[in-house]
Amino acid sequence: MSPRNSLEPLISAEKIEVRVAELAHRLEHDHPGGDLVVVSVLSGSVIFLADLVRKMNLPMRIDTVSVSSYAGRAVAPGELKVLKTFSEDVHGKHVLLIDDILDTGGTLSAVIGEIQAMEPASLKTCVLLRKKKERNIDVKPDYVGFEIEDLFVVGYGLDCDGMYRNLPYIAVFNLT
């Protein structure tokens, strides 16, 4: 971290742990038969994914998709690029899409479109964070961990230029 940048804790590791357990319980309740294909958007959601699925007692397959929408630093998203597509065939299966943060809605919308084209039996979405802001893209996740203000955040998988993903909490990244 540069001396000109600072981290301000926003959501503690303890609050994250409690909320992830609540989401896992709700997902188990809503998918009693299990047999899910859980698709995680890399790389930001990987820690959330790992903690969430370990708390779910359901049969599931796990897959990942890589989409890049941030050009780096604490700036507005750049052009959306799908870097890795699905390994699992989701046709006729129940899919749970996991992402770290709903910001503009572009990433989630693009991946939802890709999954829907494969004709799953059902598709639900779960995000750890949803920013309170207006979006040009109408995306409403089925499950939300936390609502946050429109801030640039890092930690618990979220990064700035590849750094801070390993923080056990979520912090506001301030450029000062």
d(CA 69, CA 76): 9
Element (H, E) at 109: helix 106-117
Residue positions annotated with a catalytic role: 103
Query: How would you classify the pairing of strands 81-84 and 143-148?
Result: unpaired
Contact 38, 96 (CB under 8 A): yes
DSSP 70: -
> Of 21, 55, 155, which is closest to residue 101 (Cα–Cα)?
155
Contact 48, 156 (CB under 8 A): yes
* Rg (alpha carbons) of the chain, rounded to whole number: 16
54 by DSSP, 3-state: which? helix
